[in-house]
Amino acid sequence: MLKRLFSLDTASQKRVFGLDVLRAAAILIVVDAHANNALGSYHQGGLLHQFLPDGVELFFVLSGFLIGGILIRIYEQEGRMDGPVLMNFWVRRWFRTLPNYYLVLGGIIGINLIQAFLTGQHHSLPAKWTLASYFVFLQNFAWYVPDFFPETWSLAIEEWSYLFIPLILLLWHRLRPAHWSQQRVVLAVILTVIVGTNLLRLVLALQQPISAGELGFRGIVITRLDAIAYGVLAAYVKQYYPAFWRSPMAQKNAFWLGLVMTVITAFTASILILAFYVDSGVYPAYVFYKRTFYFLVIGLSMMLLIPRMDAWRSATGWIPRAITHVSLISYSLYLLNLTPVMGLLINRIPTTSLTVGYGKVVLFWIVSLGLSTLLHKYYELPMTSLRDRMSKREPHLTETANVH
């Protein structure tokens, strides 16, 4: 009975296993970082974590590759970019992300209000206008996300990216010179987002003294619109240079270069090495780098991983099935693990010893994975399936438009 309740169909779906590996790795890195909260003061950090990539950044690039690829194929297939095409694209994206988000957001608000009613204490929710901003993804538009449901900073960046990038594509399509191909328009859009966002960060960074720190650019929408664009750049290469994309030598070289760059970037930005920067006098340069070019480097390094992983089409066995399962529930797991599970449940248990802390970590993983599977299977999937009744089907991942 439990197997039927929690099992997912991981075999019959048309999926790319290598991309499932990346998605599963990204969410496991994120959840593992959150799991350490259960240890409380007993958490001492670990050397391995200093070399792990930023799971959220990997999510950004992978999402940009998949959704950006859909947008490019739509543009090539339709031969135009206008209101109906944009609305169809947005409706399909919103059916994928909004139902889960609003359910979890509403649940957190409801639990806080019920707890306040039962205890007679004031609720811990933010002010009503701040709370309202979460419903339109303005919680971190030009400022850092509040303490309430803070993990949604990355979802807000994605939502605004998938609003702005198609609009920029529409603008470039209408303003393009007559001799421009659609390929050139797509490249112009990608460069507009990447160059524009990097210039914005550079200008903002130069306006603040180094003593102000990294300025929280990582989690602010307007300073991270390029996060998705590196994945879109990968989709661009796949669409317009298929022979190069499928080249085993190019895939191998890009993968190992990307892996080395990702590990080095992770380590050089870790807490472990900060003391060296201070002692050697390069800390100001490090802060400036983290405000500006760090995001370009990490985005490009993770983009280089995509071609090789996209070529890994399938795998068999229980381990690949487990990886695919985690990949399938990754969005639900992202929404549930920190505030709902860790904040509202696990951390209500006092961490009186290291043994209790590790027990909380195990419980955190079990509850997070279990609830995420149920949410995905019985709510996320049915809501996502509604979009096929309310919008036009988009080109499949294996469909390729003719490029002239």
pLDDT of residue 288: 93
Q: Classify burial at 318, counting beta carbons within 10 Å of its beta carbon; exposed 0-12, middle 13-18, buried 19 or more.
A: exposed
- Mean pLDDT across the chain, nearest whole number? 90
Least Cα distance to 332 among 384, 368, 376 occurs for 376
Q: Among 9-23, 107-121, 236-250, 257-271, whose mean pLDDT is lowest? A: 9-23
Token pair 């099935």 in the structure block, residue: 321
Contact 344, 108 (CB under 8 A): yes
Report helix, strand and coil shares of the chain as percent, to nearest 5.
75, 0, 25
pLDDT of residue 53: 82
Instruction: Report whether pLDDT(404) > 50.
Output: no
- Alpha-helical (H) ranges within 36-152 are 55-78, 83-119, 128-133
Instruction: Report whether pLDDT(100) > 80.
Output: yes
Residues 6+ apart with CB under 8 A from 39: 351, 354, 357, 358, 360, 361
- Alpha-helical (H) ranges within 134-178 are 153-175
Instruction: Report whether pLDDT(397) > 50.
Output: no
Largest CA-CA distance found in the chain, in angstroms, rounded? 70
pLDDT of residue 402: 36
Contact 306, 234 (CB under 8 A): yes
Give the pLDDT mean for 210-219. Answer: 88
pLDDT of residue 49: 65
Give the pLDDT mean for 171-188. Answer: 94
- pTM for the full model? 0.93
pLDDT of residue 400: 39
DSSP string, 183-200: HHHHHHHHHHHHHHHHHH
How far is the C-alpha of 121 from the C-alpha of 113, rounded, in Å?
A: 10
% of the chain surpassing 70 pLDDT: 93
Using CA atoms of 103, 109, 115, 121 in order, give the dihedral in degrees to the nearest 10. 180
313-359: pLDDT as tens digits: 999 899 999 999 999 999 999 999 999 999 999 999 999 999 999 99
Q: Give the DSSP letter of residue 329.
A: T
State the sign of the Cα–Cα–Cα–Cα dihedral 268, 270, 276, 280: positive
